[in-house]
Structure 1
Amino acid sequence: MKIADTSGQDVVLTPKSNKKTWLVSGLSVAIILVLFFLAAPAISSWSSGEASIARDRLRIATVERGDLVRDLSVQGRVVAAVSPRLYATGQGTITFSVDAGDEVSKGQVLASIDSPELTNELKQEQASLEQQKLELERQKIQARKQALEDQKSVDMAKVTLVAADREKRRADKAYEFKSISQIDFEKAQDDLQNAQFVFQHAEQDAALNAESLAFEIKTNQLQVDRQALLVKELQRKVDELILRSPVSGIVGNLAVKQKNQVSRDQPILSVVDLSEFELEVFIPESYADDLAIGMAAEVTVNGETYAANLVTISPEIENNQVTGRVRFAASDTSQPPGLRQNQRLTTRILMERKADVLMVRRGQFLESSSGRFAFKIIGDSAEKVTIVTGARSLSMVEISSGLAVGDQIIVSSTDQFNDASKILLTN
C-alpha cells in the first residue's frame, strides 16, 4: 500500500500586512520610553542614595519662627515654708502640754522645763538687787545728813564772821578815839580775818562733801542698774523655760519623751505652719550655672498651673544635684488648695525667653549629631546639612543657622544612617 504525503492537505494562506505589527511595536516602544523618563528621578535617587529607610519610621518636624522659652522640668517636694524647731533654753525636766499632730495657735504653751538651778539663781540675784537698792537708799540718807552737818558748819562760820566784823567796826571807832590800845585794835582785825577764813573753808568743805556724796550715790545707782539688768536677763531665761508656739499650725514629732531630762540647746519639737507651702526641687548639676534666684517658675497641681519663683539655691552639689526652693507667687490670691507635706509636684523653671527666633521640635537628632548637623527633607530623600543650634527648651531647640522657615528635618535618632550624607525615604 502506498502512503501519500500531506501535500494534499496544505492550504495556501494570503500574507498579512506588516502595518499592524509596526503599530504595536511603536506603541510598546513609546510606553517604555515614557516609563523610563518617569522613573528616571526615582532611579537617580536610588542610585545616589547611600541608604534607604521607611518614612513612617521617622519623626519629621518643620522649622518655624516664634518665641522660645528655655525651661527645665523637675520634680518638687512640698514642704512647709515655715517650720520652726524649738530648743531647750536651759537644763531641767521637760513637761509637754501637747502631743505630736495636735493643732496649736500662735503663743500657745507647748511645754515647760523645770530648772531649779536657774530658778534659784534668779531668786538670789533678786535678793541681791533688793539689798543694793536698800544700800542706795541708805547712802542717800547719809548724804542728806552730811549735807545738813556741812550747812550747819557754814552757818556757824557765817555767824562768827558777822560777830568778828562787828567787833572790828567797834574796835575801829574805839581806836579812833584812843579808847583801846594798839594791840586790842590789831587783835580785832585778826579775829575778823580768821572768821573770814573759817567761813570760806566751811563753804568749800560743804561743796566738796556734796560732790563726794553725789559720786557715791551715782556709783551705787550704777551697781543697782547693773544688778537690775542681770535680774532681767535671768527672768527672761526663766520665762523662756515655758515653750510657746511661734506660729499657728500642727505639732511635729517630739524629739524627747515626757518628763525626760534635757540639756541646754537640745531639740525639743517642731511646729509646722500649714498655711504656706514651698517646693523643694532637685535640679541636675548641668543646669546649676544657668540658675538664678528670682527666676519664674510654674507648678502644675491637678491639671492647673500656678505661678511661682525660685527663691533659694543651694551653694553645694550633692549626688549630682542642686537643691532649690520654689515659692508660690505673692500675686496669686492663694496657694493651690489641698497641698500636703511631702507631696510630689511637677515644677517648670523658666530660665530664658527668646522672641522671634527660628526653632524646631526637639528630638534625638541632637544627641546623635551633638547639634552639628541635621537631615533636611528634599522630596523623597533627606540630605545631611550643617546647622548651628542655640538655646534649648524641653520641647524646642533654637536654629541659629543652616535652616530656613518651612524646612523639614528628621528629628528622630540618626544613628541608624551610619554616617550617610543622603538617605532615600520610602513609603
Structure 2
Amino acid sequence: MPASPIRKLAPFADSAKKNGKKVLHLNIGQPDIETPEVMLNAIKNIDFKVWAYTPSQGNASYREKLTSYYNNLNYNLSPDNILITTGGSEAITIAMQTCLNPGDEIIIPEPFYANYNGFACMADIQVKPILSSIENGFALPAISEFEKVIGPRTKAIAICSPNNPTGYLYSRKEIEDLKELCLQHDLFLFSDEAYRDFCYDGNEFISPMHLDGLEEHAIVFDTVSKRYSACGARLGCLITKNKEILEAGLKFAQARLSPPAVAQIAAEAAVDTPKSYFDNVIAEYTKRRNILVEGLNKIPGVYCPTPGGAFYVVAKLPIDNADKFCQWMLEEFSYKNNTVMMAPATGFYGTVGQGEQEVRMAYVLHQEDLEQALECIEKGLEIYPGRTEA
C-alpha cells in the first residue's frame, strides 16, 4: 500500500507544533466551514433506544431523500439506483472490486486523488495514468492519449470533477468525448463528484449522468464530507443505473454489514440545507481561491493556474524536490513562528518522476491564515537550499 502524500508528513508537523511553531495546514481538504445546523440538530434530537444495524444498501428514507436531491440535478434516478456507503472511499473500492477483476486496468488522468492508488492496490488492479499538464490548467488529455493505453485488460476510466488535486472542472465537450470513448471500447466511466457543489465563476458542472447512452457504463461516487463540511460522518454513495453493478455491489455492502446509522440520520436532514448556505460557502471559497492563486503567482518563480472548482490548487515552485521542500518547511523553517504544511504533488501522480516541483494546497483556512501561509512560502523559498532558477 502506498503512503498518503496528504498525511505522511504528519509526524514532522506534530514535531513542529511541539517545538512551539504554528503550522498552517494547507495539506488536507478538511474544511473549516461550519457543518449545516440542520445536520447537527438531527444528531442532537436522536431518540432511538437501540443503536441498530441499518440495511446494507442504506436506509430507504435516506435513499428516497437523496433521489429528490439528484433528480433536482437532472440525474433521473430512483432509490434503487443508489447504494449508501461508508464514505465516498468505500463507494470507489466497491466499484473497483465489482467492475474489475485482479489484473485488470483502469485509466486515470494524472495528477489524481492519491488514494486511488491505495484503492487499486486493495482491488489488485492496475492504474494506467494519462498525463495532464499544469501549463493548460490540467485540462483533460487528448482522447488519442487514452487510446494509446487501452488494451485487452482495460475495463474503466476514472475522472474527478471538479478535480482533486487540481481543481480543474471538466467541460461538457470533455465529458462527451469520454462518453464516446467508453461506448466505443465498452468501458465503465467512474465519476468522482465529491466537489460537485463547488464550481466558481458561473462554470457549468457536467456529470456523465447528464448524457444519454451511458446508463450501463456510468458510475458516480458522492459523499457528504465536502458538500456539508462533514468529513467525520464517513458517509457516501455509489450511483448507477446498471442493475448488475448494483446487485454485485450490494454483496460487498452486505459483507461489511451496514453504513453508519447516525450519519444517515444527519445526512437525510442535510438534504434540506437552504441554498443560502451554499451561496455563502461558494462566495467564501471564491475569495480564498483568489487570495491564494494571486498570492502564489506574485512570488518569483511560482506558477499556479486558476481552478474552476473544488478547493485545491496545484502550484509549480522553483525547487529541486517537493517532498524535500515540504519536509524542510516543517523541520527547518519558520517565519514569525509560523510554517506551512503542504502535500507534495509527487504522490498524486502515477508516473514516477512527475510532479517533483509541484505541491497541492487546500484553501480551507480563513483568509488571514492564507495570507500568513503565502508570506511563509515566499520567505521559505528565498532561503530554501534546494531552490532552482525561476
Normalised by the length of structure 2, the TM-score is 0.21
Query: Comparing both chains, which one has the higher relative contact order based on Cα–Cα distances under 8 Å and sequence gaps of 6 or more?
Result: 1
Larger radius of gyration: 1
Q: Which has the higher strand share?
A: 1
